[in-house]
Copies of this chain bind each other. A is one copy, B any other.
Amino acid sequence: MSSPTTPRRGYHHGDLRAELIREGIALLAEKGVEGFSVAKVAVRAGVSSAAPYRHFPDREALLAACAADVIATLTEVLARAAEEAGPDPVDRLAATAGAYTRYVLDHRAGVDLLYVYVFKGPHHQIVQEQSRRFMDTLMALASAVLPADTSWADTADFVYVHLSTTHGYATMLPRGARPPRDTDGLAARAATAARDHITGYLLRLRG
């Protein structure tokens, strides 16, 4: 394999590749996608502006790596939240909404990247792969809530709406006029909103 994860190291850092991704995400959080540049990330990581090119072929690859990392973290966060929410399927799914909101409030622009930036080249791939894992996690949780005979397409649709509600809630409120920094309150409301959607959906299914 030509895997770049070989533990060979340079003479300066512990793990620059990971550090670059970390700083990249931090930069995104501060300046947004527009303010992102390889040079700035390098400076933040304390290396020369050419160093990143040893680890990523081009700017887009670094960006994609950041995006993939954000999704992977998000997947983990949501999975853990569901696990800690107890046995009830509705509780579990609703908990993901709260966790997602909390995460977004803390890592705003990293999440924006996922929804806004259009990856063109082959770097698209690692992003999509993580996205699939993310969706799989939610699909599993949704299956437990919906009737057993629900089709895959309907489940997916349900998940999308669940996620949409959550994502929108988390991202739109902070942009509004008032800056509500009550993270816990917002997360709780997001969970409630998710529950409303689940309730309404199930109700409609039954007639």
Task: Assess whether A50 is interfacial by the CB under 8 Å rule.
Answer: no
Across the two chains, which residue of chain B brings its CB closest to A33? B34
Residues on the B chain within 8 Å of A195, using CB: 200, 204
Could you say which of A5-13, A142-150, A158-166 contacts chain B? A158-166
Contact flag A164-B160 (CB < 8 Å), given A117-B34, A200-B203, A203-B200: no
Within the assembled complex, what's the spacing in Å between the Cα atoms of A165 and B172? 11
Task: Assess whether A44 is interfacial by the CB under 8 Å rule.
Answer: no
Nearest chain B CB to A181's CB is how many angstroms away?
16
Task: Assess whether A193 is interfacial by the CB under 8 Å rule.
Answer: yes
Interface string of A79-112 (1 = CB under 8 A from B): 0000000000000000000000000000000001
Residues on the B chain within 8 Å of A165, using CB: 161, 164-165, 168, 197
Interface string of A149-187 (1 = CB under 8 A from B): 000000001001101111111011101110000000000
Task: Assess whether A196 is interfacial by the CB under 8 Å rule.
Answer: yes
Which of B115, B117, B177 sits near A132, CB closer than 8 Å? B177
Residues on the B chain within 8 Å of A169, using CB: 160-161, 164
Within the assembled complex, what's the spacing in Å between the Cα atoms of A131 and B178? 13
Task: Assess whether A139 is interfacial by the CB under 8 Å rule.
Answer: no
Within the assembled complex, what's the spacing in Å between the Cα atoms of A170 and B16? 38
Nearest chain B CB to A41's CB is how many angstroms away?
16
Across the two chains, which residue of chain B brings its CB closest to A204? B196
Within the assembled complex, what's the spacing in Å between the Cα atoms of A195 and B197? 9
Interface string of A111-154 (1 = CB under 8 A from B): 01001111000000000100110010000000000000000000
Residues of A at the B interface (CB closer than 8 Å) are 32-34, 112, 115-118, 128, 131-132, 135, 157, 160-161, 163-169, 171-173, 175-177, 189, 192-193, 195-201, 203-204
Can you list the 3 inter-chain pairs with the closest CB atoms, starting with the nearest? Answer: A164-B168, A200-B200, A196-B200
Sample (12) of A-B pairs whose CB atoms are under 8 Å apart: A112-B116, A115-B175, A160-B168, A160-B172, A161-B196, A164-B166, A164-B168, A165-B168, A193-B197, A197-B200, A199-B203, A200-B203
